[in-house]
């Protein structure tokens, strides 16, 4: 993190335009809930759609993002020791870790369609002409107004505890769009149709089952005159009062009266539409029900990562590279990359065979494999060597045999 001297000399804050002033906690306003927490719009948090959002966001947050040094072919060389790398891995702001920040990005992006990642605390003013600036803190914001070269963003201000609207240039703000925008965020997309159908079904269920007995009373006389109607209405209200005021919901009727209980409301096809749209949405996103409930096999998870997670991770990395890395940094082969642990989906029964193949093909050393499975590194001399132990052992044995034969021949000659 930057020193106090650095912030006092050239610090910039998105809300104040200068280094933030410290406040005494005694006089600060407080909340009974966390105000910066992601809350879905349009009632999405009350439907099964929130399960899809959360599953995708948690899976993306499990991916390891790095500010890395790469070679000419874009292959990873080493991790950069930078403030940007600290933001996406350790601490993005005072409220969020790096992993929680990535999850916030994905959940907000899936819900809104397009979101902004704002550098709220930097060493130089990113709204000026300076192309290079170090980012100390970042926040996810909602874009409320689009302008030719800038955007108006509603973002949480940790100093006041309120959401505030700030104007930021597009050149220094990461604007990330959902790669599945046409499937999830378009007005007539599959997801939006599913949300509307679920709301209709919930409304219908509330109307048909909320505080209603759904029964018909057959009275022992014909209701044709106004006097009979008033008498029937009076009788209906008497039975309603009996049921409402009874502890167990019991009422009495005359021997000539009959009560018909309606077991269920009139059927509709809304639930069938919800099921059909859910399956269609899963197919378009590369999801399955097994992925959502956590029972998917290895092949299903690989398809999920390749078809759903990788496009989202690529969208985040591409925008971070474009906005948060200067041309000089990109010319020095700096990049934002993401990595997924391939051993997470491997059963224990297959792990030993895969580890042996990785060692024999000189892909990983013994200590690298031990670190992957959570074991301490070995102190053996060849544990960090990248070589095929079987092949090298054979070469050593053949060399020893050759030397032994050569010494035997020399001994015979001398004799």
Q: How far apart are CA 273 and CA 192, in angstroms?
A: 13
Instruction: Give 307's DSSP letter.
Output: I
Per-residue confidence (pLDDT) for residue 232, from 0 to 100: 86
The two tokens of residue 412 are: 């015979």
Q: What is the strand order of the sheet 64-70 is part of?
A: 76-79, 64-70, 334-339
Kindly report the number of other CB atoms within 10 A of residue 360's CB atom: 13
Quick one: pLDDT at residue 90?
Answer: 93
Predicted pLDDT of residue 397: 46
User: Measuring CA to CA, which residue among 10, 109, 9, 8 is closest to residue 57?
Assistant: 109
Measured CA to CA, the distance from residue 140 to residue 146 in angstroms comes to 16
The torsion angles phi and psi of 346, rounded to 5 degrees, stand at: -90, 130
Instruction: Please give the Cα distance from 351 to 375 (Å, whole number).
Output: 14
Q: What is the pTM of this model?
A: 0.74
| Torsions phi, psi for 59 (to 5 deg) | -65, -40
Please state, in angstroms and rounded to a whole number, the distance separating the CA atoms of residues 80 and 88.
12
| Cβ neighbours of 186 (radius 10 Å) | 14
Largest CA distance in the chain: 142
Low-confidence residues of the chain: pLDDT under 70: 1-12, 16-32, 38, 41-47, 128-131, 207-214, 262-268, 392-415
Closest CA to 373 of 341, 334, 404, 415: 341
Task: Give pLDDT, residue 415.
Answer: 43
pLDDT score, position 260: 76
* Per-position DSSP letters for 118-142, written without gaps between them: EEEEESS-TTSS-----EEEEEEEE
- pLDDT in the model for residue 7: 55
Per-residue pLDDT, 318: 95
- The model's pLDDT over 109-159, given as tens digits with 9 standing for 90+, comes to 999 999 999 999 988 877 766 667 889 999 999 999 999 999 999 999 988
Question: Angle at CA 317, nearest 5°, toward 81 and 105?
Answer: 100
């Amino acid at each position: 993190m930057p020193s106090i001297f650095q912030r006092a000399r050239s610090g910039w804050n998105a809300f104040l335009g200068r280094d933030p002033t410290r406040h005494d906690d005694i006089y600060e306003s407080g909340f009974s809930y966390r105000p910066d927490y992601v809350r879905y719009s349009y009632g999405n948090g009350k439907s099964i759609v929130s399960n899809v959002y959360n599953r995708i966001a948690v899976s993306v947050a499990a991916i390891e993002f790095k500010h890395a040094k790469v070679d000419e072919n874009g292959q990873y060389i080493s991790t950069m020791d930078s403030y940007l790398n600290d933001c996406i891995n350790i601490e993005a702001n005072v409220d969020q870790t790096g992993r929680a920040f990535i999850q916030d990005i994905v959940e907000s992006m899936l819900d809104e369609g397009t979101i902004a990642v704002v550098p709220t605390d930097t060493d130089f003013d990113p709204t000026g002409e300076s192309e290079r600036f170090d980012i100390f803190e970042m926040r996810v914001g909602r874009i409320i107004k689009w302008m030719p070269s800038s955007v108006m963003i509603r973002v949480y201000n940790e100093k006041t505890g309120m959401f505030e609207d700030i104007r930021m240039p597009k050149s220094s703000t990461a604007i990330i769009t959902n790669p599945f925008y046409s499937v999830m965020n378009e007005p007539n997309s599959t997801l939006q149709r599913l949300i509307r159908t679920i709301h209709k079904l919930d409304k219908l269920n509330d109307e048909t089952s909320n505080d209603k007995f759904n029964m018909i009373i057959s009275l022992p006389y014909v209701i044709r005159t106004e006097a009979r109607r008033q008498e029937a209405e009076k009788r209906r209200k008497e039975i309603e009062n009996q049921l409402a005021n009874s502890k167990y919901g019991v009422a009495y009727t005359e021997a000539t009266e009959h009560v018909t209980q309606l077991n269920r409301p009139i059927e509709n096809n809304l639930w069938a539409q919800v099921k059909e749209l859910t399956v269609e949405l899963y197919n378009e996103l590369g999801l399955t029900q097994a992925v959502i409930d956590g029972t998917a096999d290895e092949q299903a998870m690989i398809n999920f990562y390749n078809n759903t997670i990788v496009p989202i991770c690529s969208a985040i990395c591409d925008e971070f590279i474009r906005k948060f890395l200067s041309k000089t940094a990109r010319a020095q082969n700096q990049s934002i990359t993401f990595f997924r642990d391939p051993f997470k989906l491997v059963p224990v029964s297959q792990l030993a065979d895969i580890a042996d193949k990785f060692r024999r093909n000189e892909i990983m050393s013994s200590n690298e494999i031990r670190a992957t499975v959570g074991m301490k590194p070995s102190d053996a001399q060849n544990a960090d060597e990248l070589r095929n132990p079987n092949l090298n052992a054979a070469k050593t044995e053949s060399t020893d045999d050759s030397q032994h034969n050569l010494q035997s021949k020399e001994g015979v000659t001398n004799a």
